[in-house]
Structures are given as structure tokens and as C-alpha cells.
Structure 1
């Protein structure tokens, strides 16, 4: 049960930061730098958010250091994130899922996928770093 609460809160931290940064990216960075460069410029900030959110979540919920608990926390957070992204992006942009996925930049999309993998692993990686 603790991993469910922790994963949900971890998602909320990352989603909130991503939402704010996404607005900045779309309104100011993308018109100035282009879509790919804007997404790539946002990535290091999101990686920092992921690290800090995972660290805070692990400490706040005193998660067990077991691999299944830590990975379940990360997977739940990413699951919530993907659901929220699909709901918001498709709802706000009026795209189908196929249109959205087909329109992703291959370079920025790869960086985004790596960010999701980092988000899944970070609660576990944080426990390893703390040893």
C-alpha cells in the first residue's frame, strides 16, 4: 500500500513540474528554438526533477529498499504519467493516439523514453546511491 501512495505522489511531483515546463516550452522555447531543441533543452531539468522527486518520495514514505517495492513505485508513477499525458494531450490537441505518436520527433522521443525509464528506476537507484 505504501508503494501505491508513494508512486502516486512521485507522479504528482513529476507531472506538476512537467506541466509547468511544458507550457514554457510550447509558448516560449519552441517558437524560438524549434520543437526538437526545446524538448531537448527541457530534458535536463526534468531529469533533475525526477531525481529530486524520487529522493523526496523514498524518504517521505520510508520505502523498503527491496527492488520490487522501489520498481513498483516507479512503474506506478510512470503509468499515471502516461495516462495523464494521453488524456491531456489528446484532449487539448484533439489528436488521435496514432497521430500523436506519429508526430513525435525521433530524437526528442528517444530522450523522452529514456526519461521514463529513468523515472521507473530512480527510486531503486536512489536506494543504491544511499548505501
Structure 2
């Protein structure tokens, strides 16, 4: 279990940073041009590939014989770090007033986000060192 903590922290931070870079590109560049849902779909595809790469990088820090428990720790910590980062970033954007002009995310856009969270949680069990 302990063996998955450092990889999980790295996984979560790198995953959050990928989303933090892609989110503004989606919101500011893509959505006004192609619409919110197509922009979210395009971001989702790019983010899914980026998460796979990030999972491989983080999994290299697992012991060679890492079984289910270290991978579960990596997955859980990765998801927790991403969600905590999302909450913190949302609070900062709300406090600064930057989020006021944004339209609420539709159900389809939210579903894409949930699928990506499930992908984030599943990847530590799928990738190898």
C-alpha cells in the first residue's frame, strides 16, 4: 500500500496539470469556435491519451512486483489529488470573478468528465512499468 503513495501523488499532480492546461484551451479557444460539446469531446480524447502517458510515468515508481494494493493506492490518491485540485481551482476562479461569464456545463459535458475520472482510476491497473 505504501508503495503506491508517491506514485499516486505524482499521478494526481501530473493529471491535474494536464487538465489545467487543456481546460482553458477548451474554454477560451475551442468552445467559442466549435461549441461546448465538441470542444469537451476533443479535450476528452487528448486528455485520455495524456492520462495514459502520465499513468505510465507514475507507474515506473511502483516496485517491479507491485500488485493490486499499491496500484489501488496510486489510483485513489490520483483521483483525490485531481478532485482536490479541481475544488481549489474552482474556488480561486469563483473568488476572482473569472468564472462568472462561463455558461454552466451541460449534462453531456459533465458525463465526459465522469468518464475521464473513471479512466484516471482504472489506468493504474492497466499500465505496466
Q: What range describes the TM-score normalised by the shorter chain of this pair?
A: 0.7 to 0.9
Render the CA deviation track for 1:56-102: whole Å, top value 9, x for unaligned. Answer: 111133364311221221111111111110111132034xxxxxxxx
Counterpart residue number, 2:20? 19
Q: In structure 2, what is the Cα distance between the partners aligned to 1:30 and 1:73?
A: 33
Q: In structure 2, what is the Cα distance between the partners aligned to 1:104 and 1:74?
A: 26
3-state SS of 2:51 partner: helix
Counterpart residue number, 1:42? 43
Higher helix share: 1
Q: In structure 1, what is the Cα distance between the partners aligned to 2:23 and 2:29?
A: 10
Moved over 4 A (4+): none
Q: Work out the number of aligned pairs and report it.
A: 121
Which runs of 5 or more structure 1 residues have no equivalent in the other structure?
A: 95-102
- Structure 2 length normalisation: TM-score? 0.83
Which runs of 5 or more structure 2 residues have no equivalent in the other structure?
A: 96-103
Q: In structure 1, what is the Cα distance between the partners aligned to 2:91 and 2:85?
A: 10
Q: In structure 1, what is the Cα distance between the partners aligned to 2:46 and 2:121?
A: 17
Q: In structure 1, what is the Cα distance between the partners aligned to 2:19 and 2:93?
A: 16
| 2:4/2:72 contact within 8 Å kept | no
The range that moved more, 29-38 or 62-71, is 62-71
Counterpart residue number, 2:67? 66
- Structure 1 length normalisation: TM-score? 0.82
Counterpart residue number, 2:113? 112
